[in-house]
Structure 1
Amino acid sequence: MRLNQNTMLLGKKVVLVPYTSEHVPRYHEWMKSEELQRLTASEPLTLEQEYAMQCSWQEDADKCTFIVLDAERWQSWPGPTEESCMVGDVNLFLTDLEDPTLGEIEVMIAEPSCRGRGFGTEAALLMMSYGVSKLGLTKFEAKIGQGNEPSIRMFQKLHFEQVAVSSVFQEVTLRLTVNEPERQWLLDQTSHMEEKAYRDGPTEHR
């Protein structure tokens, strides 16, 4: 997360900010959900373990993690804290040592009331645009549980194609190769995105 620890991405529906210790309590509450544990293949952690995980992620050079905020709520400053605006997270894992241009993307919209509103789609688009323009990525993969139809459909709408099914892990792998037409489409979809230094703007007063 050293890659993006001072980066904030502003979209229309969502704002992406680095995962900091102030986000941990809300994140911890989310991950008590058995549904989210199942969808993300996660084990429940104690609050202390969650803080330790956040610290380790912050030092990782091969992980790019943003917390997804509800842009409308976040922009209604003065008022809500970032923690109260949180709706999910989005991650890029740069762990393929043989191919540094490949990023594995994950998106989680944890707040039930915020699902089906395009938050996940925009979060994924902003992250992919950032990956292409700032990190030199040309390929993306998404590994999704076979039962997670909404997430599979979302990535298919983002031009990902299914390339593998694992019956052992009960997940499908979808992939997108960012050729020039795809790159232009992605940049067009995110032409409204603003990149700012984190803690500039409303959050610096909180």
Structure 2
Amino acid sequence: MRLNQNILLLGKKVVLVPYTPEHVPRYHEWMKSEELRRLTASEPLTLEQEYVMQCSWQEDADKCTFIVLDAEKWQAQLGTSEESCMVGDVNLFLTDLGDPTLGEIEVMIAGWDRRVGEGFILQLIPLSLLGGVTKLGLTKFEAKIGQGNEPSMQLFRKLHFEQVAVSSVFQEVTLRLTMSERERQWLLEQTSHVEEKPYRAGESERC
């Protein structure tokens, strides 16, 4: 989505940046994992196909993608390649044409190490929600999680998501967070430390 192509969101542990061609090689390496492809319902792609996919995501009007960086590594290596700081990605999908205020959040953590734990995720998700509220005007968020993935469900519940549906066909649970005034204040408190900075637009342009 071009709406977020010039935006960087900086938290204490997490940095969110637009998905650019610079990130594609590392992303491509991640997606060689059968487990990650299964979890994200993705097909194996060549590197060139991955670049094409990155361009389509950049242009897509109903998908907002951020690459997740480890803030500590990113700040230590400022001015160098972001590839070594990559941890995963987060997507916000506008899934309901009749309700532009509803978005589905999908988080993938691929570059896992000992520093990327629950505290990291508990900061990442509110940071992503903040982008959805302030940039996309979203007031409702849904997360669809596999029925056997209890740790992920517990994480989202800690962030005020509540179960609203179960699909036996897709074997997944849908959790939802509605941004009431109280929840909005909670989100602002959770993200009060976040800085929004301009991203280096136009670099490594391939599209």
TM-score w.r.t. length of structure 1: 0.92
TM-superposed CA distance for 1:30, in Å, is: 0.7
Aligned-partner Cα distance in 2 for 1:55–1:49: 10
Counterpart residue number, 1:6: 6
Match of 1:63 in 2: 63
Aligned to 1:170: 171
Match of 1:191 in 2: 192
Which is further off, 124-133 or 100-109? Answer: 124-133
Partner residue in 1 for 2:161: 160
Shift in alpha-carbon separation, 1:115–1:149, aligned structure 2, 3 A: farther
State the Cα distance separating 1:79 from its structure 2 match: 6.8
Tell me the C-alpha RMSD between the 2 structures.
Answer: 1.7
AA aligned to 1:134 is K
Return the letter of the residue paired with 2:132. Answer: G
Distance 2:157 2:43 in 1: 27
1:3 is paired with a residue whose SS is helix
Q: Is the 8 A contact 1:39 1:148 kept in 2?
A: no
The correspondence of residues 15-26 of structure 1 with structure 2, limited to 5 A, is: 15-26=15-26
Q: 2:66 aligned with 1:54, yes or no?
A: no
> TM-score, normalising length from structure 2?
0.91
Shift of 1:28: 0.8
Where in structure 1 are there 5+ consecutive unaligned residues?
none
SS of 2:24's equivalent in the other structure is helix
| AA aligned opposite 1:108 | M
Verify the 8 A CA contact 1:37 1:43 in the aligned structure 2: yes
Paired residue secondary structure (2:108): strand
Distance 1:142 1:45 in 2: 25
Counterparts of 1:49-128 in structure 2 under 5 Å? 49-77=49-77, 80-113=80-113, 114-128=115-129
Segments of structure 2 that go 5 or more residues without pairing to the other structure are none
Structure 1, residues 128-171: CA drift from partner, whole Å, max 9, x if none?
A: 01211222111000111222222211111110011111111111
